[in-house]
Structures are given as structure tokens and as C-alpha cells.
Amino acid sequence: MKRSADVVIIGAGVTGAALAYELARRGIRDVLIFERKFPCSGASGRCGGGIRQQFTTPHNIRLAMESVNRYETLSEELGVDIEFIQGGYLILAETEEEREAQRKAVALQNELGLPSRLLTPREAKEVLPLLDETTIVSATYCPTDAHANPFRVVEGYLTRARERGVVLEKFTEVVDLEVKEGRIVKVRTSRGDVAPGTVVNAAGAWSREIARMAGVELPNQPIRHEIAITEPVEFFMDVMVISIHNGIYFSQTKEGQIIGGIGDPEEKPGYNISSSLGFLRRYARELLRYVPALGQLSVLRQWAGLYDVTPDAQPVLGPTPGLENFIQANGYSGHGFMIAPAVARHLADYIEKGIVSEILEKLSLERFKEEIRGEAFVVG
Amino acid sequence: MNRRASPVTRHGTWDDPIVCRCEEVTLSEVVRAIREGYDTLEELKRKLRVGMGPCQGRTCLPLLARILSRETGRPLDEVMEEISIRPPLIPIPFDLWRGR
């Protein structure tokens, strides 16, 4: 194994893969990726594959818009069909409060240049003819939202990165980070030690554990999310549907399968990724309420993954205060796949040229200083 | 909602038989992927979709495990242990999950 590298990336999910590619493309090729299992074994390979821009904070909206811009031409750029389907996102609302929240979100999104709009139930049915429009009071729709296949995206990024010299060490676990005089000077792994230039923490739900090895506390919490996929049926929806009422999401893959899930507000933080019967029952109930025609469709498989959730549901990005060669690229709170191409660009700009973009500045770990102190009182 | 008809679209040959019938993946495709570095069953699934069709690997996973063991020299038991089994094992419609 290599004894040193300009950049050590911890985690071969979509963030690590996209960043490795972006760096290699710019000529920074001495890049080493450590992956505890194999590429896409964490959240990237377990997610629904949605690429949504309809967020409610300016940073999330901007990152997602930049990413869609990249995703639109990514198949061509990587030479891998990422199964990008730009059929928009339809977001359902069932109460007056939710409609009001949608109105505000659309106003902010439009201000930032996103072509989202508020729809009546009847207009929503035009977007998704199988929708039972009597279940909703309003919807929002953004035609440039999309979904894609995360396996193909990560495979494409890694293949092109490795061609340019990036080294992937899979089944290699980072076990410690040695800090000296405000820098990480050694990355200890299950297969040997490496002297890093820069270290990037892209370990998803395990990022908090990685950061602790360097004495850094992240406010991130792992939260299980369950998901299921059906047998394939004729292609009938290019739109991805979510509901702010119950947290359901579903879309149809290029293969014709319906992939989707639903959040559980009762879920406690932890590393449990077992599958539950309760999830399937709740998902089926809510899915069939919105789209009754799917009742005969069979579920093939269910699984779970971990969101890496921050207190404000925005990622932790950029250099770590007090440890300038330690870069955070985590805390995506369930949205990592959507924004990875943009995150990779911002982080590569910092690693290559030292540029701290406005996004990196605003999404730095620094922003939690007060909150972390507050939370410490609750826990302790 | 029409089930997508799944006609046989590819045929194996004597030298290069179909290994995964659901996703119609052949022996040579599996071997090529292993040699490219997709050398665990979980990685092969993600790369080739093998074992991810309606049979959920009941037909192909034992075959894949043997191929993988032969290609990598790792014991069959070790290769098999790495498979994650995912419910519900047989396809079950949403109507039944919802209940009445």
C-alpha cells in the first residue's frame, strides 16, 4: 500500500467518488480512497436515487441546482449511462399549513432561478395521471428535478478517477487519525499507515466516529431509513413523487421498478439497519392512498440505510477549524446523492486553490458552535 | 397497471451460458466483472444486477458463489457468508402489505 498521498479520502460513496474524480480531472492525481467495505456499500448504494432542487434553504437549493447542471451531462462525461431521468419532482401537501409552506418555498426557489411552481390537485394529476388527487390540497412541481442510478454514478466516477491515477483501497478501515500541531499527520488503517497531505471525511453516517479520531466533535446523528423495490412494470411515470405530509418518496427506475420508502418520525439515532414489517405496512398504506392502482404490484426486496443527519439538515462542508488539513464532507441528512457533483467542485476548489466558497463558509462546522454547547447540556 | 412482459431476450451458448436468468447475465460477463475487481457477491450484484431479479438470487447465487470461489481462490463458505439476505424473499403485492 502507498505510504503517503496528497489527498486521502475516507469513504467510497458518491461524495468520495465524485471528489476523487474532480481532483484527478484537475491534475491532482495522488489521491487515495479508503473504504471500509466496498464502493456504494453505505448510504449511496442504499438511497432512492432522487435528485431534487426543491429545498427550503438557499444553500441546499444552490448546491442542488449546480448538481443538476452537472448531472444533465454526466453520462456523456463519464462514458457510463447513469440512467438519468429528468421527469421532475412532484411534492404533495395535505394541509393548509403545508400549502402555505409550499408557497413560501416556491417563492424562495423562484428567486434563486429554479422553475418550480405551486399546483392545484387537478394540475398535479396532469403530471401523474394515476394520482388520487382528492388526497391532496396542493403540490409543487419542478420539471428539472430528476433521478438516476447511484451505482452507475459511483462506478462512473471511480472508473474515470482510477484511470487518472486515483487509488481505491477497499475493505480497508481507518482506525485512527494522528494529530500533531494542528494537522493530521498520519492516517492509520487496518492495512497500514499513510502520511496524508489533506484528509477528507466522507464516511457518511460513520463520519462522526472518524472525526472523533482527530478529536473533532460533529453534531451528526445516524438515522435509519427503510426502502423497498418492486418487480418491473411498464414505464408509466418519469416524475419522482414525495410528500411533505408523511415523508414518502417513490419513483420508477429505468428498469421499470418502483423504488421508494417513507421516513419514520419515531426512529431513534443509531446504527441499526435491519428491515421491519412495520415499514412495509406503512409504506404500502401511504403509497396506495396516493396511487391506488399500484395494489397488485409486488415488492421484491426491502433494505435500509443510514442518513447522516445534522441539526439543521444541511451538510457539514469544508476545512475544520483548528485542523486545516481535515476537510468535512458529510452530514447530508439524506441528500448526499443529490448534491455530490456540486460538493465535489466546491471541495476541489478549496483543495486545489484554497478557495473557500460562500457555500463552504456558510456550511462549515463552525456554524454549530453555539448549538453544540447547548446540546452538550442536554446530553450530559 | 400492466406487468412488464419478461420475454427471454438473450440466449446463452454452450461455452457461455446464462448464469442469472432474471437479469440474463452470462458466465463470461460475470468472470469479466470479477477480473475487473468486483470480487465479492455484493459488488457483483451492484455491478451486474445478478441476483436482484424476481427470484432474488435463489437460482443464481449458488452458481455465482462457485464462479467467484474458482476465480478468486477463496473458499466457497467464505464467499457465501458475504451475501446479505433481504426480505420478503418472495414477491408480495402492496395490497397484502397494506392489509384490510
> What tens digit of pLDDT does each residue of A201-249 get?
999 999 999 999 999 999 999 999 999 999 999 999 999 999 999 999 9
Q: List the beta strands (DSSP E) in chain A.
A: 4-10, 31-34, 50-51, 89-93, 117-119, 138-142, 146-147, 167-169, 174-180, 183-189, 192-201, 221-232, 240-243, 248-252, 257-262, 298-309, 316-320, 323-330
- Contact between A71 and A150 under an 8 Å Cβ cutoff? The reply is no
The verdict on A118 and A137 lying in the same domain is yes
- Is A357 an interface residue toward B (CB < 8 Å)? no
Q: Domain boundary at A251, A280, A309, which?
A: A309
Is A299–B91 a contact, with Cβ atoms under 8 angstroms apart? Answer: yes
d(CA A98, CA A89): 17
Q: Is residue A116 part of a domain?
A: yes
DSSP code of residue A112: T
Looking at beta carbons, which residues of chain B come within 8 Å of A233? 1-4
The minimum CA-CA distance between A109 and chain B, rounded to whole Å, is: 35
What is the total count of domains within chain A? 2
- Contact between B94 and A299 under an 8 Å Cβ cutoff? The reply is yes
- Is A81 an interface residue toward B (CB < 8 Å)? no
Sign of CA dihedral B4, B7, B13, B19: positive
| Number of helical (H) and strand (E) elements in chain A, helices listed first | 11, 18
Task: Among B46, B56, B91, select the one facing A45 at the smallest CB separation.
Answer: B46
Q: Domain boundary at A256, A286, A309, which?
A: A309
The mean pLDDT value for A193-206 works out to 98
The verdict on A203 and A333 lying in the same domain is yes
Looking at beta carbons, which residues of chain A come within 8 Å of B4? 231-234, 256
- Is B97 an interface residue toward A (CB < 8 Å)? yes
- Chain B residue with minimal CA distance to A274? B86
Q: Residue A115 has which C-alpha cell?
A: 422553475
The domain containing residue A199 runs over which residues? 4-46+151-220+312-379
Task: Among A281, A284, A294, select the one facing B1 at the smallest CB separation.
Answer: A294
Q: Is residue A123 part of a domain?
A: yes
Is B56–A232 a contact, with Cβ atoms under 8 angstroms apart? Answer: no
The verdict on A136 and A242 lying in the same domain is yes
The verdict on A38 and A168 lying in the same domain is yes
Residue B9's pLDDT band (cuts 50, 70, 90): confident
Least confident span in A42-51, A202-211, A343-352, A369-378: A369-378
Q: Is residue A61 part of a domain?
A: no
Residue A257's domain is classified under what CATH number? 3.30.9.10
The verdict on A369 and A234 lying in the same domain is no
> Between residues B70 and B53, which one has the greater pLDDT?
B70
The mean pLDDT value for A103-107 works out to 97
Instruction: Give residue A378's pLDDT.
Output: 32
| pLDDT, averaged across chain B | 90
Q: Where are chain B's structural domains?
A: 18-98
The verdict on A127 and A25 lying in the same domain is no
Task: Among A38, A151, A284, select the one facing B40 at the smallest CB separation.
Answer: A38
- Contact between A49 and A147 under an 8 Å Cβ cutoff? The reply is yes
Residue B6's pLDDT band (cuts 50, 70, 90): low
Instruction: Give residue A372's pLDDT.
Output: 46
Q: Is residue A179 part of a domain?
A: yes
Whether B1 shows a pLDDT value over 70: the answer reads: no
Instruction: Give residue A379's pLDDT.
Output: 33
Looking at beta carbons, which residues of chain B come within 8 Å of A40? 46
Number of residues that make up chain B:
100
Task: Among A40, A233, A234, select the one facing B46 at the smallest CB separation.
Answer: A40
Chain B interface disruption, residue of A37, A38, A289, most B CBs within 10 A: A38
Residue A370's pLDDT band (cuts 50, 70, 90): low
| pLDDT, averaged across chain A | 95
The verdict on A226 and A305 lying in the same domain is yes
H/E stretch holding B18 reads strand B18-20
Is A301–B56 a contact, with Cβ atoms under 8 angstroms apart? Answer: yes
What is the reported pTM? 0.95
The mean pLDDT value for A164-190 works out to 98
Q: Is residue A357 part of a domain?
A: yes
The minimum CA-CA distance between A142 and chain B, rounded to whole Å, is: 26
Helix (H, G, I), strand (E, B) or coil at A154: helix
The verdict on A129 and A203 lying in the same domain is no
| Cα dihedral B70, B72, B77, B79 in deg (nearest 10) | -120
Chain B interface disruption, residue of A14, A172, A231, most B CBs within 10 A: A231
Task: Among A45, A285, A293, select the one facing B1 at the smallest CB separation.
Answer: A293
The verdict on A201 and A295 lying in the same domain is no
| Number of helical (H) and strand (E) elements in chain B, helices listed first | 5, 3
Helix (H, G, I), strand (E, B) or coil at A185: strand
Is B98–A288 a contact, with Cβ atoms under 8 angstroms apart? Answer: yes
- Is B54 an interface residue toward A (CB < 8 Å)? yes
Q: Residue B41 has which C-alpha cell?
A: 457477491
Count other C-beta atoms under 10 Å from residue B73's C-beta: 7
- Is A292 an interface residue toward B (CB < 8 Å)? no
Is A281–B99 a contact, with Cβ atoms under 8 angstroms apart? Answer: yes
Looking at beta carbons, which residues of chain A come within 8 Å of B56? 300-301
Q: Is residue A62 part of a domain?
A: no
Residue A183's domain is classified under what CATH number? 3.50.50.60
The verdict on A274 and A295 lying in the same domain is yes
Residue A369's pLDDT band (cuts 50, 70, 90): confident
Looking at chain A, the whole-number percentage of residues with pLDDT higher than 90 is: 96
- Chain B residue with minimal CA distance to A237? B1
d(CA A275, CA B84): 12
- Is A300 an interface residue toward B (CB < 8 Å)? yes
A147 Cβ contact list (under 8 Å, min separation 6): A48, A49, A50, A51, A84, A85, A87, A240, A251
Is A234–B93 a contact, with Cβ atoms under 8 angstroms apart? Answer: no
B69 Cβ contact list (under 8 Å, min separation 6): B75, B76, B79
CA-based nearest residue to A220, from A237, A204, A231: A204
CATH 1.10.10.1100 applies to domain B18-98: yes
DSSP code of residue A85: B
The verdict on A305 and A173 lying in the same domain is no
- Contact between A191 and A169 under an 8 Å Cβ cutoff? The reply is yes
Task: Among A41, A231, A297, select the one facing B54 at the smallest CB separation.
Answer: A231
